[in-house]
Structure 1
């Protein structure tokens, strides 16, 4: 008989956190530091200069930006200062293992590339007035659709605990939702209560409940304290999901997300977009 998997074997071993110049960065880094300490993980802070965008602009016909060397130096110096501040914060927080990276690409692209070598990426929700990649997608959306790692998105403000006592998992029997559950196991096994929530518009459907029970059994074998709850929303599922999570005072929402086939790298499905727009709690997304 195989021995049960020890809890520590499911811990995140490498966590990647975004470092930018927004006011939310200290709270984001503090959260990532607490999570890294709780999981015994190596923490990587990722800062970007954005130099690649200016290089692309200089290749456009008729664009004369002059000598950009001083600008590039200024951008790199600012990124290095952010990286040094990250080092100071995590050292003060007592993180045992950490490092920083500085990249010249745009944030979403740089994070998605570095995420190939991480178990989890920590970012903040994109502000409503913030420009997206090519004016289309925010950082969370781009990274979750273009990296192999799950993305933990923090709301504004970001006073979030590193341990999540109450967790809601949005379940629709999709491969994306199943991957989200697997990626969230290091957090789920530490929770005191996990609701596996089905939002089924067809009250007569039996299949969705059977699928949820099978997933609940899978989670229970990992030691997750899970309860299956079925809901029949009258309105948009994304709104119903958030209302339920807020009513249950969930500390974390876990869900899968998908991209539309033609624009997979830039456009999330409707429920995911609604959740990221109205997010009031951390959400772990997986694609």
Structure 2
């Protein structure tokens, strides 16, 4: 099993170029084809046309968006010419949630960016990333908006609770385990209301991973049962202490009326991640 088709989603945020660079490195590492999909989002002028300076705001938005689009495309073409990476460039102006979801279903792995509340260019749509992770049917590798990530998958840290989502994430991350030098399984104990011992042991999934990662050491660490939010914080802290460069985890969520509701640990990771995270649903 390997990733041979990668999709990287781009926006007009400051983090878009580092994300594109990250995706190119990953494509070279995996000898995979890379599709770069830039979605352009323009504010609805009708929603604030009565505001003073609305026309100037839209003009400035369009100017910045065009500049960043051109800069991304120039870098993409230069890198494609410089390297042996097979790649194609796409731009979409339709509803980004639908466009990216549909493109993701044709890829083996999707690279997307964490939302940056201080950068308007990173806003795509309400709960865009949540919809992508839950609806794509493909693993989504989320890159934080801050940080320099020169390696990926040399030391994955796997959040394991024996659930369907966690099992899906482990299976989806298998091509990265093959290249790992060290893999750590962090087990999450039974939560309130679950009988002790109801979750699959970490040693069992470690043995499964070790059959793929024959050159890597696979170790298991156990954690005590904690509230979901505390589990998310503890996982981020422990992954950093271990020197991990990737977190692998299942994403829990469901639709409630017109809103997606994620599990507490998933919400914490999406908001506070300090390293790339591969999520599967």
Contact preservation (8 Å) 2:41, 2:124: no
- Is 1:49 aligned to residue 40 of structure 2? yes
Deviates more, 1:254-263 or 1:240-249: 254-263
List per-residue Cα deviations over 1:214-236 (Å, max 9, x = no partner).
Answer: 22222122235322221115562
Corresponding residue to 2:6 among 11, 15, 31: 15
**Any idea what SS the aligned residue of 2:8 has?**
strand
**Any idea what SS the aligned residue of 2:253 has?**
coil
Partner of 1:31: 22
Quick one: structure 1 residues 164 and 223, their matched pair in 2 at CA, closer, same or farther if it must change by over 3 Å? closer
Shift of 1:19: 1.9
Aligned partners of 2:232, 2:25: CA distance in 1, in Å?
29
Question: Could you tell me the TM-score, scaled by structure 2's length?
Answer: 0.81
Partner of 1:160: 149
Quick one: structure 1 residues 282 and 89, their matched pair in 2 at CA, closer, same or farther if it must change by over 3 Å? farther
Quick one: structure 1 residues 202 and 259, their matched pair in 2 at CA, closer, same or farther if it must change by over 3 Å? closer
Unaligned stretches of 5+ residues in structure 1: 1-9
Quick one: structure 1 residues 187 and 269, their matched pair in 2 at CA, closer, same or farther if it must change by over 3 Å? same
Aligned residues: 265
Quick one: structure 1 residues 265 and 78, their matched pair in 2 at CA, closer, same or farther if it must change by over 3 Å? farther
Partner of 1:252: 246
Aligned partners of 1:105, 1:162: CA distance in 2, in Å?
33
- Is 1:212 aligned to residue 202 of structure 2? yes
Quick one: structure 1 residues 229 and 76, their matched pair in 2 at CA, closer, same or farther if it must change by over 3 Å? closer
Aligned partners of 1:275, 1:93: CA distance in 2, in Å?
35
Contact preservation (8 Å) 1:142, 1:265: no
**Any idea what SS the aligned residue of 1:266 has?**
strand
Quick one: structure 1 residues 233 and 129, their matched pair in 2 at CA, closer, same or farther if it must change by over 3 Å? farther
RMSD: 3.1
Shift of 1:32: 0.5
Unaligned stretches of 5+ residues in structure 2: none
List per-residue Cα deviations over 1:116-162 (Å, max 9, x = no partner).
Answer: 1111111121113467565x41x322210120111111113241124
Shift of 1:87: 2.5
Aligned partners of 1:18, 1:133: CA distance in 2, in Å?
11
Q: How does 1:76-115 map to 2 (within 5 A)?
A: 81=70, 84-91=73-80, 94-115=83-104
- Give the 4+ runs in structure 1 shifted more than 4 A: 73-80, 129-134, 201-204
Aligned partners of 2:68, 2:95: CA distance in 1, in Å?
12
Contact preservation (8 Å) 1:233, 1:240: no
Aligned partners of 1:248, 1:115: CA distance in 2, in Å?
31
